[in-house]
Structure 1
Amino acid sequence: MNYKIKEENGYHYIDEGKGEILLMLHGLFGALSNWEGVISHFKSNYRIIIPLMPIHDMPIKEAGCEGLTVFIEDFVDFKQLDQFSLIGNSLGGHVALIYTLRHPEKVQRLILTGSSGLFENSMGGSYPKRGNYEYIKERVEYTFYDPKTASKELVDEVFEITNSIPKVMRIIAIAKSAQRNNMAKDIVRINTPTLLIWGLNDTITPPQVGHEFNQLIQGSELQFIDKCCHAPMMERPNEFNAILDKWLQKTKV
């Protein structure tokens, strides 16, 4: 990745560009590099901040949606951020939903892409198997419409994670927390301008999930990207950026 990861007060994060803040949250198997195409497109007009969530090393008792939301609350307070657009993919979208409900005064706009919170088919319906590289490769490829998007570097990274028992324990705890935490009754209270960008071929949070979010979040806008699965900002960065750019301009305060 071409962007410097800053380390401060125990936080690891990217902070690029100047202007209105876009705060981005990655998913369960995500990384800061997931947003590289978005950073390149927006950094000339926006300040982009992406914290690395402590999915693999947070205390096991705190490993869940609640613990991750508290982490983001603390990070926002530490960086003294206010009035920002919050963008979340997969589990990051779930955390973004909880944060927005708790701090509507801080979140100007909410953008969800392949978000959990209503339904998620984690790892294609099964938990990661340790020591089986081909299985992990197949599961990572399942996240994308075009399996070639799952680079060897990405597969190797997930394989390394799944070979660590402490990391796998946290991943399972967080995944189960996300599945238990259905937000259908809560998100009807969201009044923040909301954009939903969904892969038309998403196998993890299928298109129907995008429609459900659209129905439950008042005034939200739903856009689909064809030949795209669970991580549109990685698989179809040009289309993702065009949709987001147009909507940010349209909803500018």
Structure 2
Amino acid sequence: MNYQIHEGNGYKYIDEGKGEILLLLHGLFGALSNWEGVIEGFKSHYRVIIPMMPIYTMPITKAGCEGLNEYIEGFVAWKGLENLTLLGNSLGGHVGLIFTLKNPSKVKRLVLTGSSGLFENGMGGSYPKRGSYEYIKERVEYTFYDPKTASKDLIDEVFEITNSAQKVIRIISIAKSAQRNNMAKDVVRIKVPTLLVWGLNDTITPPQVGHEFNRLIEGSELHFIDKCCHAPMMERPEQFNKILNNWLEKTPIGVPEMAY
């Protein structure tokens, strides 16, 4: 990925383009590169910002959804960001939900794709096993409809992460926090325009989760992408970008909420 990673005030992030802000949040085993297709598709018309969440380095006492939200709140405050379109995949969607509810004046549009917050089948139903490359390969491939989408570089990266005892402790703490933090009673309070993009073949947050978000968030719009699993922006970037672009154009910031 050929984008500059900026560093400042304890944060690492990508900041590309100019215009309305798209703030992108990656998942538990995610990375900045997960959003490469969105950067390419939108940097000519939007300012695309992706903070690297400190999933593997944050203090263990903070390792959870609330701690990650505090980190994003600090980043947004430090950068002076306003009028956000917030996009989150998997755990990033969960953090995005918390952020939206706690900072309603800052978020103007919300996009969830394969988001946790209601239900997720983490790592295919088990916590990461250390030392078994084949196990990690199988679990990473489980994230995609086409196993070939899981490149060797991606598998190697996750394998390296799961071989660190300190990183695994944080992963388990955050995963358990996400499972405990069911937001069904909270998301009904979200009133900003919300787009839901789900893989029709998602094995981690199955299609029913997308339907449930759609039912709970008034006025939300749900799209499914066929032959796609848990990370549509990676596995089907062209379709994802088309859905996102069409929705952004018909829900401009500044119109009365829920007017669409």
The TM-score bracket by the shorter chain reads: over 0.9
Q: Which residue of 2 aligns with 1:159?
A: 159
The 3-state SS of whatever aligns with 2:85 is: strand
Match of 1:139 in 2: 139
Q: Secondary structure at the match of 2:78?
A: helix
Residue of structure 2 equivalent to 1:120: 120
Structure 1 position 193, deviation (Å): 0.4
Q: How does 1:12-31 map to 2 (within 5 A)?
A: 12-31=12-31
Amino acid at match of 1:19: G
Structure 1: 4+ residue segments shifted above 2 A: none
Question: In structure 2, what is the Cα distance between the partners aligned to 1:151 and 1:94?
Answer: 26
Question: How high is the TM-score relative to the length of structure 2?
Answer: 0.97
Q: Give 1:67's aligned residue.
A: 67
Query: Structure 2 matches for 1:1-253, cutoff 5 A?
Result: 1-253=1-253
Give the letter aligned to residue 122 of structure 1: G
Structure 1 Cα separation of the partners of residues 87 and 172 of structure 2? 24
CA distance in 2: counterparts of 1:140 and 1:187, whole angstroms: 29
- How far residue 9 of structure 1 moved from its aligned partner, in angstroms, is 1.0
Structure 1: stretches of 5+ with no match in the other structure: none
- Percentage of identical aligned residues: 78
Structure 2 letter corresponding to 1:177:
S
- The count of aligned residue pairs is 253
TM-score of the pair, normalised by structure 1: 1.00
Shift of 1:52: 0.1
Q: Deviations over 1:68-126 (max 9, x none)?
A: 00000000000000011000000000000000001111101000000000000000000
The residue type paired with residue 24 of structure 1 is L
Question: C-alpha deviations, 1:216-249, integer Å up to 9, x for none?
Answer: 0000000000000000000000000000000000
The one-letter amino acid paired with 2:15 is D
The one-letter code sitting in structure 1 at the alignment partner of 2:101 is L
Where in structure 2 are there 5+ consecutive unaligned residues?
254-260
Distance apart, 1:130 and its partner CA: 0.3
SS at match of 1:219: coil
Q: Distance in 2 between matches of 1:78 and 1:128?
A: 34
Q: Displacement, 1:10? A: 1.0
Q: Name the amino acid aligned to 2:208.
A: Q
Determine helix, strand or coil for the equivalent of 2:56.
Answer: coil
